[in-house]
Amino acid sequence: MNKVLNVSAYRFVALPDAQDMRAPLLERAISLQLKGTVLLAGEGINLFLAGTEANVREFLALLRADPRLADLQAKESWSDTVPFGRMLVKFKHEIIRMNHPAIQPQAGRAPALDAATLKRWLDQGHDDAGRPVVTLDTRNAFEVDYGTFSGAIDWRIAKFSEFPQALEEHLDELQGKTVVSFCTGGIRCEKAALVMREAGLHDVWQLEGGILKYFEETGGAHFEGKCFVFDEREALDPALKPK
């Protein structure tokens, strides 16, 4: 039972040699009998992998041996079977597509909020300065339908590249509030927070590690439903168990 380790991780960091990294990483992942996807781009790395605990940890250690990826943080969950059908390593122009070239997370990120602090803010109904707190779901509408934070703002976007336009249309809703952007694992809300700051919103945070890290560290308080994941498990409950 629960013999398969599933990990997701990302890091925005300049990787000018991203294309050259693809083949050796694929070869090593296959040799370790891993399944999943690794995305590489000039702006960083994004991965979802599953396999035996020893082999997954060996692959993560290989990545972290690169000084640029030394602090790569992985979110973990366990399953009885591998939820991916094959192993892919791809080169992309963006590890998460937004089509907004001015946003460069590898050059500096928006402030991050840990799970415990968000839970405390939601418990008390305001941030530590007494400002009203709103949570902003940056995921696609079908993902939100599986579950989200109670009262979260949801602009019903169909794909993440629609986020900047949605923000422009709803900017007034966020004025005067502390905004915490969130997503599955942190990668989308990291870009979203930068776009909001670019638009002139200053009290903006990204939820560190996304919903999955929030589940891991808080048990899912204030979250209703389950979290959609892009693998055969489909969705995870706050105990990080498949639906």
User: pLDDT tens, 158-200?
Assistant: 999 999 999 999 999 999 999 999 999 999 999 999 999 999 9
User: What topology does CATH give the domain 4-91?
Assistant: Alpha-Beta Plaits (3.30.70)
The CA distance from 186 to 181, in Å, is 9
Domain boundaries, the chain: 4-91, 105-236
Q: Do the domains 105-236 and 4-91 match in fold?
A: no
Say which CATH architecture domain 105-236 belongs to: 3-Layer(aba) Sandwich (3.40)
Model pLDDT, residue 125: 92
Known catalytic residues?
183
- Give the global pTM: 0.86
Average pLDDT, stretch 10-19? Answer: 95
**103: confidence class by pLDDT, cuts 50, 70, 90:** low
Confidence of residue 243 (pLDDT cuts 50, 70, 90): confident
Confidence (pLDDT) at 181: 97
